Structure 1
Amino acid sequence: MSEPILSLEAVETDIAQYHILKGVSLSVPRGQVTMLLGRNGVGKTTTMRTIMGLLRNKAGQIRFDGAEISGELASSRCRAGIGFVPEDMGIFSALTVEENMILAAVSGAPDRARLDWLFTVFPPLKTFWKAPAGTLSGGQKQMLSIARAMIEDRKLYLIDEPTKGLAPAIVSTMVGALRELKRQGASILMVEQNFAVARALGDHCVVMDDGRATWSGAMADLATDHALQERLMGLSMEAG
């Protein structure tokens, strides 16, 4: 087994007076899609923001690509090869789609071949290339948010609920794009409440509860064990 691209060991994070992460330990295998699952409010988004450096862990270790990064700024983690798609999309509404994409290409001007590929998986981006991002529909804004992370070949992609609130047709487009990214061998950690999407994309799975990672294993094992789903999350994936 190769070293995981990302590992957390006993990570604790507070937000104001609230103790959110209470010793999270997990690993993300290199070249696989790891789904981060659990009920609402158990710490999944806080985990993602802590990995990205938008929140600072007060204890524990975060190792990325063999290096300890707990003390690094978010900008340094980005330059080191982590792409982040936040739950709130994080696009610049007053800037055009083109300007949003240029800003996301931290290594320089966007690669033309990479951009052409993104236009094939997210056609509306080409259509609205010169339009202000704020004029896009919700689904189109989510496409832009994901495309910003994908504009360069990242070592790790952190993607927080990419299909939340989207129509089925847009969800299908998202899944197709992420499946293509997976086919290229990308390492992905993804929060997703849509279990059908989790089943379709996930190789590995980590389940969280009350600020801790309580189970990890193959996504296929969790997807086929309804009793385990009920025990870990209080619901069955059959509902997804």
Structure 2
Amino acid sequence: MSDLLLKLRDLHTDIGQYHILHGVDLEVPRGQVTMLLGRNGAGKTTTLRSIMGILPPHRGAVTLDGRAVTGLNSALIARQGVALVPEDMGIFANLTVEENLTLASLDGPPDPKRLERIFTAFPALRTFWKGRAGTLSGGQKQMLSVARAMISERRLYLIDEPSKGLAPAIVSTLAKALRELKSEGATILMVEQNFRLAKALGDRAAVMDNGRVIWSGAMADLASAPDLQSRLMGLSLEDHT
């Protein structure tokens, strides 16, 4: 395994009176795509939000590139080079596509070369550049959400179910863009229920259940072992799209 960019140790997080994470241990290697898998309600989204500081853990440690970031607010964590693509997309519906991407850029106006790469990946964003984000289709909003994370180079991308509810053609477009991001050496931690997409993109996988990581290893090992998939998640990857 390459050196680690992100480490979680004994992470515990509550939401109100509910104890959601029960001691999560997770390692994310630099320059790889790590898939966070598991049944609904296993704690995957809460894990991403805890890393980002949106849901501060009450116990345990989050370490980014050797530096503890536990307890920092989400704005400071973003300044450490971490981007979150949330499940609800997190775009500003009343702002234009241009304004959404400009706000997401860490270093002032978007870099023209990086912007051109985004337009190549998501041509609809060029078409609706001056249009309000709220008028986009669901797939186009997801493209914008991913593009907001990509508009500046980040050390770590946290991506929560980018293919959820999207048509196969839109999923294919997103997959191509994420492959391009991966080819640039990006480090990605991604929650995904589309297991074929997880298999295609993932280098490593971690499976969660009941607020803990119960298995971690190479994505290829998990993808080639239906019995292991069934034992860990109650399903076979090959049976789900």
With normalisation by structure 1, the TM-score equals 0.99
Segments of 4+ moved more than 2 angstroms: none
Query: Within 2, Cα distance between the matches of 1:79 and 1:2?
Result: 24
Partner SS state of residue 21, structure 2: strand
How many pairs are equivalent? 240
Q: Which residue of 1 aligns with 2:236?
A: 236
Q: Which residue of 2 aligns with 1:143?
A: 143
Q: Which residue of 2 aligns with 1:205?
A: 205
Q: Which residue of 1 aligns with 2:5?
A: 5
Encode CA deviations 1:84-117: one digit per residue, 9 max, x unaligned: 1000000000000000000000221110100001
Q: What is the Cα deviation at residue 73 of structure 1?
A: 1.1
Q: Which residue of 2 aligns with 1:162?
A: 162
Q: Which residue of 1 aligns with 2:82?
A: 82
Query: Within 2, Cα distance between the matches of 1:109 and 1:237?
Result: 42
Output aligned runs, 1:101-180, within 5 Å.
101-180=101-180
- Runs of at least 5 residues in structure 1 that lack an aligned partner in the other structure: none
With normalisation by structure 2, the TM-score equals 0.99
Query: Within 1, Cα distance between the matches of 2:194 and 2:140?
Result: 19
Query: Within 2, Cα distance between the matches of 1:16 and 1:83?
Result: 25
Encode CA deviations 1:175-206: one digit per residue, 9 max, x unaligned: 00000000011000000000010010000000
1:42 and 2:42 aligned: yes
Q: What is the Cα deviation at residue 34 of structure 1?
A: 0.1
Query: Within 1, Cα distance between the matches of 2:14 and 2:107?
Result: 32
Q: Which residue of 1 aligns with 2:190?
A: 190
Encode CA deviations 1:47-98: one digit per residue, 9 max, x unaligned: 0000000000000000011100002110011011001100000000000000
Query: Within 1, Cα distance between the matches of 2:2 and 2:183?
Result: 19
Amino acid at match of 2:75: S
Query: Within 1, Cα distance between the matches of 2:218 and 2:160?
Result: 20
Q: Percent identity?
A: 65
- Runs of at least 5 residues in structure 2 that lack an aligned partner in the other structure: none
Partner SS state of residue 12, structure 2: strand
